[in-house]
Amino acid sequence: MKKLIIGAIALLLLSGVIQAQTPTQKDTSKHFINIGLNFLTHGEICGGGLPRASQSKEGRSAFIMGRVRILADYQYKQWFQTHLVIQNSAIWGMSGNLSLGLYEGWVKVKAPFGLFAQVGRIALSYDDERIIGTNDFANASRSHDALRVGYEGYGHKVHAILSYNQNGGNVYYGTYYIDGAQPYKNMQTLWYHYDIPVFPLGVSLLFMNMGLQAGEEEDKSNLPRTVYQQMYGGYLNYHPKYVTVEGAYYRQAGQYVSNSMHTLPIDAWMASGKVSVNPSNRYGFVLGYDHLSGDSYVPVIYGGKLGMVRHDVIRGFSPINGSRTKFYGLLDYFYESAYINGFTPGLQNAFVGASGNPWKGLDCGVTYHYLAVATQLSGLSSTLGHSIDVQLGYTFNKFISLTLGYSFMMGTETMARLKQEGVSQNAHWGWFSLVVSPTLFSKKW
């Protein structure tokens, strides 16, 4: 018996040595396919923040919307990849919904030495998404029909993006483009990013030239024309242990389409800074400040009458392709929301927040925003209001997650006067998002 036990032990040890000496088998698969679904159910209830006459007797509105995506990926070796996302989005109970369409559909080819080319409908996202983002909190999100070529390697990334939009085919002339899937007729963007070796710092530079159309298609005496505006600046991310420091600065120049035929020069800028501290994966803190330039003079007049006051230069910063709700409070009062009389007083946003993970799967956070104009106003305080955002999220498993949110805005007289006469100064907004993302099929061969 003793000899049998010793022999068994020796056999096990020998088997371990043989396995240790056998090299790991390489993955020789050439093809990879993955098919999945993404279900989003999102509900909102809000009150205040609108003209009182437009609200119901209860002073609130509510809706539920659903979004369904079918996702398919195919990859051949390491150099060829396709990605397809079919999307349908609609408000529950909505009749005549025809929102089924292509959200993403592209082909990407990788060449030696880090070169690549990608063409099709692409969901573009860069840096913190302040200038170019998917705006995924919205129902339909944002994607671009574009060609993207570039290089990625040794810490460097260089992307060039080219886009040209039409509302219909025309053999001889480009069609007049307005109210399309994107606000621009054409766009050229160059983005460069560098991650410094052995130092937790990433730096990005961006230049965007965007053409928007002025004029009216049916006006044969004054043919529509394309005018251009530029965005350029940079973003940095310094992330040593426990701390992340982010900073951004961008300028906006070129021409703004003020009405169907006329344009005005643009001279606008923005700057931001943010510090996140995470001593543990169980809790963290954030502190930051944003400054968006505004018009040098903003008339504040009851009744909405301006008289002879006119713009001469557009000084209000507008990141057209960025992700909304992400930076200046979830109520989204300031990103693209119009002020009365068309003037923009700019924005100062000072914020502080805390987040926590009290137990596995549960994430919670609260953020306070102090909001003020960036322009001197005659006879009014610069303070627009105070906003508080609260979020709770729970991940049930790798397929299912639920997020709940509540936001409260306590506005001032300045807010009411600049936004709209008869507006309710205070606003409440509650929402939930249920996401279910199962993988239906995945295979390598």
Q: What is the pLDDT of residues 161-177, one digit of tens each?
A: 999 998 877 766 677 88
Q: Give the CA angle between residues 232, 233, 235 to the nearest 5°.
A: 140
pTM: 0.87
Determine the Cα–Cα distance for residues 329 and 289; give it in Å rounded to an integer. Answer: 12
Q: At residue 75, does pLDDT exceed 90?
A: yes
Question: Rounded to an integer, what distance in angstroms lies between the CA atom of residue 150 and that of residue 210?
Answer: 19
Q: Map residue 9 onto helix, strand or coil.
A: helix
C-alpha to C-alpha distances, 376 to 45, 267, 297, 300, 334, nearest whole angstrom: 34, 18, 8, 11, 17
Residue appearing with tokens 């999100």 = 141
Residue 14 has pLDDT above 50, yes or no: no
Q: Please report which helix (H) or strand (E) contains residue 165, including its range.
A: none
Among 107-111, 154-158, 330-334, the least confident range: 330-334
Amino acid residing at 194? Y
- Give the whole-angstrom CA distance, residue 106 versus residue 366: 38
Query: In whole angstroms, what is the distance from residue 418 CA to residue 347 CA?
Result: 12
User: Which tops the pLDDT comparison, 217 or 250?
Assistant: 250
State the Cα–Cα distance between residues 167 and 100, nearest whole angstrom: 18
Radius of gyration, CA atoms only, the chain: 26
Could you give the 3-state DSSP secondary structure of residue 245? strand
User: 329 and 349 in contact (C-beta within 8 Å)?
Assistant: yes
Query: What CA–CA distance (Å, rounded) separates 319 from 127?
Result: 14
What was the pLDDT predicted at 107?
Answer: 98
- How many CB atoms are located within 10 Å of the residue 55 CB? 16
Q: Burial level of 137, CB count in 10 A (0-12/13-18/19+)? A: middle
Alpha-carbon gap, residue 257 to 265, rounded angstroms: 9
H helix and E strand count, the chain: 2, 19
Answer whether residue 134 shows pLDDT above 80: yes
Helix, strand or coil, per DSSP, at residue 225: strand
Average pLDDT of the residues in 341-368: 92
Query: 90-117 burial, b if ≥16 CB within 10 A, otherwise e?
Result: beeeeeeeeeeeebbbbebebeeeeebe
Helix (H/G/I), strand (E/B), else coil: 356: strand
Per-residue pLDDT reduced to its tens digit, 259-312: 767 888 999 999 999 999 999 889 999 999 999 998 877 776 555 444 445 678
Q: What is the pLDDT of residue 306?
A: 44
Q: Which of 414, 224, 254, 236 is nearest to 320 (CA)?
A: 254
**At 107, is the secondary structure helix, strand, or coil?**
strand
pLDDT at 318 over 90: no
Whether 421 has a pLDDT exceeding 50, the answer reads: yes
CA distances from 332 to 190, 208, 307, 335, 439 (A): 28, 24, 30, 6, 33
Overall fold of domain 31-444: Porin (2.40.160)
Residue 206 contacts residue 232 (beta carbons within 8 Å): yes
Structure confidence at residue 192 as a pLDDT band (50, 70, 90): very high
Does the pLDDT value for residue 218 go beyond 80?
no
**What's residue 296's pLDDT?**
79
Q: In the predicted model, what is the mean pLDDT of the chain?
A: 85
Reduced to 3 states, what is the DSSP secondary structure of residue 13? helix
pLDDT of residue 426: 80
Q: What whole-number percentage of the chain has pLDDT above 90?
A: 55
- Using CA of residue 45, residue 51, residue 54, residue 57, what is the dihedral sign? positive
pLDDT tens figures, 236-245: 999 998 999 9
**Pairwise pLDDT comparison (169 vs 382), residue with the higher score:** 382
pLDDT of residue 137: 77
Which of 17-26, 136-145, 261-270, 392-401 shows the lowest mean pLDDT across its residues? 17-26
Domain boundaries, the chain: 31-444
pLDDT of residue 319: 83
Average pLDDT on 60-81 reads 92
Instruction: Give the CA angle between residues 383, 332, 130 to the nearest 5°.
Output: 100
CB 312 within 8 A of CB 297: no
